[in-house]
Amino acid sequence: MDRIKAIHDGQKINIRMVDTLDLPPVKKVLESYSFLSLSGEDSDGLGLVYQMSADQIKQIEENAVSQGLETIRNRVDQFGVSEPTIQAQGVRRILVQLPGVKDPERAINLIGKTARLEFKLLDEENSLQTALAGNVPEDSEILYQRVENKETGEVTKEPFLLKKRAVLTGETLTGAEIRFDTDFNEPYVALNFNSVGAMIFQQVTRENIKKRLAIVLDSNVYSAPVIQDEIPGGRAQITGRFTSEEARDLAIILRAGALPAPVVILENRTVGPSLGKDSIEKGITSIIYGGVLVVIFIALYYKLSGIIAVTALSLNIVLLAGALAYFGAALTLPGIAGIILTVGMAIDANVLVFERIREEIRIGKTVRAAIDAGFSKAFRTIVDANITTFIAAVVLFQFGTGPIKGFAITLCIGIAASMFTAVFVSRVIFDLTMNQRKLDKLSI
């Protein structure tokens, strides 16, 4: 019989004891956990109620995400994916991108397993039959072992009645690796515990000889061998008719540690290598076709000035591409949308300036004065139009998700680049040409 029992109930933890003498030491121990505050005592002197504040729960949740991130990163690193992206999204979500992975199901299994490893003694005092009939003893639980018939693919579930309390958990693991059984050449996972774990394991095995100890991973029983003898040295193994791939992945997961909380796969997008590249490449090629047409048209329409505009536009695209590469942004469809809008606005800025200059020349201004007036009058229009769009882009970046964010960041960079090139760079080129030769006719 356990002398002390803790029951978790929402934000509260109820602790019940058998002996009033235990109360002071328990209180003392729990005082050292700063995240718990004593919120009540049972009148019989045998119970304590502890509580966590909302802040602390929030902090634990945040920690769970950052720890989860760390654990998943460890697992992915050991799995061996080149250039993975693993990032937190919002408060409780994690985005994992694994380019080049051929078997997405295996990757999902690797990432999604909580990997909570527990060793639990079988409850051999009570009958499994009665428990299955719905009469589960308070301190015990029923967990299942999945047995798959490799030939027929049929899965059966074998029930076990286990003590709820784990005698040892994966926290004391120092290593896990795949080994092969010498007799049947079957793979299994060999475990190593640290000194604390080894000590507990030795004690548990000594005290429970001839009893069965179940190895439980994420509430699935993997095996439940009979303890033959005391086991010193902190070694154990998980067997379970693994393929070598499964055993290798399991070892990785155990080495990388358990996730602090279970994860649920919310979204999964797998794009075949040829398809993903294809659609983006096709998009880019067609934009280039369109772009070349635009360049030819602008050069024909505005002649020398058009060529200046095209130069500024090329610089704009170089800046945009550079910035996107710097931020490590992958080129996606929404990104392409952002580029189209940016290029459109950059051309528009040039067109606005040139049309203004033409207007000024028409009302009889000199070339020099027309350029000055054209740039300064169009400048205000360009600024207003660009800032309005920029505001929208910033808001979308702040509140948008995934693809919308990609669109927004491309647009933000693009607007900054096009303001610089269309207003400043074109102007500098104009001025330089003007200074070199005194033009009384402008090629526009």
Per CB under 8 A, contacts with other proteins among 80-139 are 104-105, 108-109, 112
- φ, ψ of residue 173 to 5 degrees: the values are -70, 140
Burial class of residue 17 (count of CB atoms within 10 Å of its CB; 0-12, 13-18, 19+): buried
Which residues within the stretch 244-273 sit at the binding site for other proteins (CB under 8 A)? 264-272
- The reply on whether position 287 binds other proteins by CB under 8 A is yes
Residue type, 72: I
Q: From 32-40, 192-200, 354-362, 364-372, give the range in contact with other proteins by CB under 8 A.
A: 354-362
Which residues within the stretch 29-58 sit at the binding site for other proteins (CB under 8 A)? none
Of these, 282, 314, 318, 443, which contacts other proteins (CB under 8 A)?
A: 282
Of these, 41, 355, 372, 431, which contacts other proteins (CB under 8 A)?
A: 355
Could you give the CA distance from residue 382 to residue 422 in angstroms, rounded to a whole number? Answer: 9
Q: Give me the residues paired with residue 95 across strands.
A: 87
- The reply on whether position 25 binds other proteins by CB under 8 A is no
Residue among 217 and 345 whose Cβ is closer to other proteins: 345
Of these, 381, 416, 434, 439, which contacts other proteins (CB under 8 A)?
A: 381
Task: Give 122's DSSP letter.
Answer: B
CB of 339 to other proteins, least distance (A): 9
CB of 362 to other proteins, least distance (A): 6
- The reply on whether position 274 binds other proteins by CB under 8 A is yes
| H-state helical runs in 327-399 | 333-362, 367-399
CB of 355 to other proteins, least distance (A): 5
Of these, 393, 409, 422, 425, which contacts other proteins (CB under 8 A)?
A: 393
Task: Give 425's DSSP letter.
Answer: I
CB of 310 to other proteins, least distance (A): 11
Which residues within the stretch 421-440 sit at the binding site for other proteins (CB under 8 A)? none
Q: From 22-30, 191-199, 279-287, 424-432, give the range in contact with other proteins by CB under 8 A.
A: 279-287
CB of 436 to other proteins, least distance (A): 24
Could you give the CA distance from residue 303 to residue 311 in angstroms, rounded to a whole number? Answer: 13
Q: Residue written as tokens 């004891």? A: 17
SS3 call for 219: coil
Half-sphere exposure of 56 (CA within 13 A, CB side): 11
312, 299 contact by CB (below 8 A): no
Half-sphere exposure of 77 (CA within 13 A, CB side): 9
Residue type, 251: A
Which residues within the stretch 308-337 sit at the binding site for other proteins (CB under 8 A)? 333-334, 336-337
Which residues within the stretch 185-244 sit at the binding site for other proteins (CB under 8 A)? none
Residue type, 258: A
- The reply on whether position 348 binds other proteins by CB under 8 A is yes
Could you give the CA distance from residue 142 to residue 127 in angstroms, rounded to a whole number? Answer: 11
Of these, 276, 321, 368, 372, which contacts other proteins (CB under 8 A)?
A: 276
- The reply on whether position 391 binds other proteins by CB under 8 A is yes
Q: From 6-14, 28-36, 119-127, 285-293, give the range in contact with other proteins by CB under 8 A.
A: 285-293
Give Rg (Cα) of the chain.
34
E strands, 194-232, where?
213-217, 220-223
CB of 394 to other proteins, least distance (A): 8
